[in-house]
Structure 1
Amino acid sequence: MERPLWVRWLRVWAVGGAIIGSGLLLFKYTTPTDEELINALSPELREQYEKQKVLRREEQRQLMDLVKKTSQSNDPIWKTGPFNAPWEGKQNTEEVFNKIQRNEAETRQREDLQRVMAELDMLRQKSELRTQEIVNEKKKHWWKIW
């Protein structure tokens, strides 16, 4: 004897819900968090990630400024912002890319300058200590035994 139609549909919904629910649970409990992903990186990659975090934030801020600017205009989006449509022929995306590269180079230069300044301070302290040692040795009289 054949089962009623509603029983078959109930079975379809139950099996489908079980498949979807198990997929959601697997996704929730097997996907690592951002912190876990960052901690799993090698030290070099983690350092690179931390250095570029500021650059990504700046890019995001510039993008949000661009979105605010385009939302205030009544013109189409491809005519409002600094980016032109590819079919118009005037592309200044290279200019934006150069600006990002320039910002990245400036941050690298600042970091290098800070590192060099720290090394210079350390060398200065070492030379001062060595100078003090030499001066203290010169202050000793030759006739004193101790």
Structure 2
Amino acid sequence: MERPLWVRWAKVWAVGGGIIGSGLLLFKYTTPTDEELINALSPELREQYEKQKVLRREEQRQLMDLVKQTSQSNDPIWKTGPFNAPWEGKQNTEAVFNSIQQNEAETRQKEDLQRVMADLDTLRQKSELRTQVIVNEKKKNWWKVW
């Protein structure tokens, strides 16, 4: 005997809901959080991520400034702002890339300078210690045995 139509539709909705619900649960409990992903990275990659986080924030801030500037204009979006059309070439992307590269180079240079300054300080301290040792040895009288 054939079942009523509403029973068949109830089965369809139950099975569909079960599939979707199980998919959502699997997604929720198997996808790692951002912190877990960052902690799973190797120390070198984690350090690189932390260094580039500032650059990504700055790039996002510049983009939001451009969006605000563009939204204040009544012209179409392809006529406002410093964005170029895709068929006009990559002048704007090259400028952004160059500014990001310059920022990276400046931060790298500052880090290298700090490292060199720290190395110089340690060398200066070692040199002063060695000089004191030599001066103290020269102050000893040659005729004293003890």
TM-score by length of 2: 0.89
SS in 1 for 2:91: coil
Deviations 1:11-30 (A, max 9, x none): 11111111111111111111
Please give the root-mean-square deviation of Cα atoms over the aligned residues, in Å: 1.7
Give a deviation string over 1:13-69, Cα, whole Å, max 9, x none.
111111111111111111111111111111221121122111111111111111111
C-alpha separation in 2, matches of 1:77 and 1:120 = 54
The answer for the alignment partner of 1:145 in structure 2 is: 145
* Contact 1:83-1:91 within 8 A present in 2 as well: no
In structure 1, C-alpha distance between the alignment counterparts of 2:37 and 2:78, rounded to whole Å: 37
Partner Cα separation in structure 2 for residue 71 and residue 142 of structure 1: 87
Deviation track 1:66-101 (CA, whole Å, cap 9, x = no partner) reads 111111111222222211112356843322221121
Q: Distance in 2 between matches of 1:93 and 1:62?
A: 13
Asked if the contact 1:82–1:92 (Cα under 8 Å) also holds between the matched residues in 2, the reply is yes
Could you report, residue by residue, the CA deviation over 1:103-132 in whole angstroms, capped at 9, with x for unpaired residues?
Answer: 111111111111111111111111112112
Q: Which runs of 5+ in 2 are unaligned?
A: none
Q: CA deviation at 1:144?
A: 3.1
Q: CA deviation at 1:145?
A: 3.1
Aligned residues: 146
- Give TM-score scaled by structure 1 length: 0.89
1:99–1:130 Cα change, 3 Å: same
